[in-house]
Structure 1
Amino acid sequence: MMKKIDEKYKMLFITMFCYLFFYTGRHNFGWATKAMSEDLGISYSYIGWISFSMLIGYSIGQFINGNLADHFSPRLMVPIGAYLSIACNIGISFAYSAPVILVLWFFNGLFQSMAWAPGGKIITNWFESKEQNKAFGLYTMAAGLSSVVTFLISIVLTSFDMEWRMLFRVPVLFLLVSSTIFLIFIKPSPSESTSKKTDSPKRTFAELKSSYAEVLGNFTFVRLCISFGLESMARYGLIFWVPVHFLGKNWKEDPSFLWVTFLLPLGMAIGAVSFGQLAVSVFKNNFRSITFGMLVCSIISFSLYTFTSSNIIVIAFLLIACGFFVYGPQANFWALCPQILGKQKTGTAMGIMNMFGYLCAALIEPILGSVISFSKNTSILFIVIGVLCLAASINTWFLREAKNVENY
């Protein structure tokens, strides 16, 4: 029994370790934006469309790869996605054309999408329903810490005045190592830990189509995806534009404005692991936990707009709190996938939910870029984030009232 418990946590930590470095291949873009814009003469509006292309690619990939994760081995899907993403990043580091960067960033999104749902499938295979909130909380924490790692590496490279191209070359080296370790040591399910057979049963097109139909036909799940989409807009709006906002504050004269951005992903990581437990011990319900988190994040976002020129300590506190509440509820969203649709449809459900989230996030990027270009004020970002979080909270509140979700 003890060996089995140790084994499942070993698989969880291997999956977490791999995903800990996945964002080095996509959250690095915001840090390269300002210098790239100046070097290649790209407007912020077009930068928004480049960001849009990656998120659209990721969204399309999630729709496909989530279902594939239910039928094929995550052991191969995750490393293949990582290696191809690394290739796209290296390609961008040698590019001089904005359209070329846009196309490569789109394909990078496709390849990056090959990891999250397969990782979730591994967790669902190893953990029983009563433990999944905790497991998904830790998994989501790894994603949050991946932003921390990426921000930290990017801040160090930026502080050393390295050119923006290095932001697409250095961080992904960590992903190369972690994905290779994953390939060597992961066992996607308990059955594969006792058997060398890894061949997946062949699935017909009708079976794949049936999986999509069952997931998309669940009204509760579809409504939940709307809240997730709004949350994703807020999260990616912060991740992408907060570095742009603070890099504009003459950071070389006061580097504290550069380092304070590190607190945003740190708060996200802490929130991810905390909300998985809060839903069980405090709120007794994943829907209540999401509603609360989004409402508080809305209040904090409006506060950031109000106090954006305040003392650095005030900004630091608000940023870490904003990260905590904008990302923490994601652990609850992921735990609801197997709870609503069952273990067999976990990959498909996570893929569709993530697809919808990134589709929404993609739509908001060019809008934010245009709004910032028009207003000449990056602080307007926090007003938009506040409205998005409030909408997510309201939608989840009404969904929580439905009788068929009382036990989730």
Structure 2
Amino acid sequence: MSVLAAPPARAASSSPYRWVILILSWLAFTMTSVDRSTWGPASASVGESLGVALGGLGVFVTAYYIGYVVSNAAGGFLTDWIGARNILAGSLFVAGGFMILFGSTHSAGIGIAFQAVVGLFAGADYSAGVKLITGWFAEKDRGLAMGVYMTATSLGTMIANAIVPSLIEASGWRTSYHAFGAVSMVVAVLCFLLVRPATAAEPEAAGVKRAPLPDLRPLARNRDLLILGLAGFGGLWGTYGFITWSNTLMIKGNDIEPVTAGLVVSIFAFAAVLCKPLIGLVTDLIGRGRRIPTMGVLLFFVIALLVFGGMSTPAGFLVVAPFLGIGAYLYSPLMTAMIPGLSGGRLAGSAAGATNAVWQLGSVIVPVVIGAVFSATGSFYAAFLALAVGPLVGAVLMFFVREKRPSHAADPEGTTTEKKTEAPA
């Protein structure tokens, strides 16, 4: 299939088609988020069906995130090398296929393997989307664009928790995996047909026969990207630890009905869907950097986790849920919008993949840790204390990031005029 001609870089940043690119990137990322979040409300039913004890359910999530971390690290590099469209569409299509296979398995061992493969392909679309947004949106508009893009993670959680419990009651947990896997494959085909590169220099652009391998040495020496990665590790420790265990902890630890627990997590995610674009727009308009707001959100997240952990009734969980959603998600678009400024546009895919790989290590470790804490103590609050440690460490680490504040005249590649602001010693 011939590739649509790529516009010049500056034309891309003002073209109306950039909103089509954003919507498609967001839609793909939303579907992988839905696929990932399906496990939370479905886990208890899957465990009963496959004969897995409560304490062993975290192994499925850890298997998924091992694959997810690997695909983030490799997917960013491949995005810069063979093109964002190919990675966005191809990875989502295969992940959707293995979602369907997971919904058909009757073996715990094979199910764990399928989860690992889903994660192995699902993780690559994040960096592909960041690369596309970096190319199609100038720095002065990137906070809003990243805010919209990152609503995918919270929207995926909201959709899964709103739909999966009812699907389980009506037809069993397997239907959820079959349905979401099929939709993922359809979205992948749309992305392949409609996404086009931002510049003529991109690997997929007409006339580009073979792109050179990206030189990753500047990223390996980038102190600030490393710290940003470690801070995100702490944030996602809290976020995905909550997403993975919140339904089961509310059901097993406080006798909350499954549909009510799903409603709590849906409200948690819906608050973030509303607020992510808003915080991106506000930081764009203020133009004074994203480091300090990120620290504030992470500290707010710590407080919200501790308050939520002290609740014991459906009403209490429902009241705290939107505040917890704001804390659990609003740091991510701010961190993501910082990446191209720290890495430069040419390595934006590799930088996004590498930092997200470090972030997602928190997602790999935390399900098993929280499962062990709850199994050992039987305490709902102890589990939330363990979750709160992550964002607290993340807030401290963000203090040491030296943020680059590009001028509003910066080009879409994110490589022009920049003012570097040192963090306080």
**TM-score of the superposed pair, with normalisation by structure 1:** 0.89
Q: Which runs of 5+ in 1 are unaligned?
A: none
Q: CA deviation at 1:150?
A: 2.2
What's 1:309 paired with? Answer: 312
> Any conservation in 2 of the 1:72–1:200 contact (CA below 8 Å)?
no
Give the drift of 1:157: 1.1
Measured in 2, the distance between the counterparts of 1:87 and 1:188 equals 26
Work out whether 1:324 is the aligned partner of 2:326: yes
Q: Using the TM superposition, give the Cα deviation of residue 257 of structure 1 relative to its aligned residue in structure 2, in angstroms.
A: 3.9
Give the superposition deviation at 1:359: 1.5
For residue 282 of structure 1, report the CA deviation from its aligned partner: 5.6
- CA deviations over 1:9-40 (Å, ceiling 9, x no partner): 22212222232222232211122211122222
Partner of 1:344: 346
Alignment TM-score, normalising by the size of structure 2: 0.86
CA distance in 2, matches of 1:197, 1:315: 53
Secondary structure of the residue that 2:228 maps to in structure 1? helix
1:395 and 1:55 map into 2 onto residues whose CA distance is 23
Deviations 1:248-269 (A, max 9, x none): 35455x8434422211221232
User: Is 1:62 equivalent to 2:101 in the alignment?
Assistant: no
Instruction: Classify the secondary structure of the residue corresponding to 1:285.
Output: coil
Select which of 64, 85, 89 maps to 2:95.
85
Aligned to 1:270: 274
1:42: how far off? 1.1
Q: Which residue of 1 aligns with 2:410?
A: none
RMSD value, Cα: 2.6
The one-letter amino acid of 2:239's match is R
Q: Is the 8 A contact 1:237 1:381 kept in 2?
A: no
Contact 1:20–1:142, Cα closer than 8 Å, also in 2? yes
Give matches, 1:71-150, under 5 Å. Answer: 71-150=81-160
Match of 1:358 among 340, 360, 364: 360
* Matching residue of 1:27: 37
Give the distance between the partners of 1:44 and 1:257, measured in 2 at CA: 17
Asked if 2 retains the 8 angstrom alpha-carbon contact of 1:73 and 1:200, the reply is no
**Contact preservation (8 Å) 2:127, 2:352:** yes
Picking from 229, 239, 246, the partner of 2:243 is 239
1:214 Cα deviation after fit: 1.2
Q: In the alignment, is residue 187 of structure 1 matched against residue 196 of structure 2? A: yes
Is structure 2 residue 62 aligned with structure 1 residue 52?
yes
Q: Deviations over 1:72-99 (max 9, x none)?
A: 1222212211121122112222222222
CA displacement at 1:240 relative to structure 2? 0.8
Moved more, 39-48 or 67-76: 39-48
Separation in structure 2 between the aligned mates of residue 128 and residue 7 of structure 1, nearest angstrom: 14
CA distance in 2, matches of 1:31, 1:298: 24
Q: Residue 25 of structure 2 aligns with which residue?
A: 15
Check the 8 A contact 1:82/1:179 in 2, yes or no.
yes
The answer (yes or no) to whether the contact 1:246–1:258 under 8 Å persists in 2 is no
Displacement of 1:4 after TM fit?
4.4
Identity %: 18
3-state SS in 1 of match to 2:105: coil
Structure 1 position 293 matched with structure 2 position 301 = no
Maintained 8 Å contact 1:372/1:378: yes
Is 1:217 matched with 2:227?
Answer: no
1:123-144, Cα deviation, whole Å (9 max, x unpaired) = 1111112211121111112332
Report how many aligned residue pairs link the two structures: 397
C-alpha contact (below 8 Å) 2:199/2:205 kept by paired residues: no
Which sections of structure 2, spanning at least 5 residues, go unmatched?
A: 1-10, 405-418
Matched, 1:169 2:178: yes
Partner SS, residue 203 of structure 1: coil
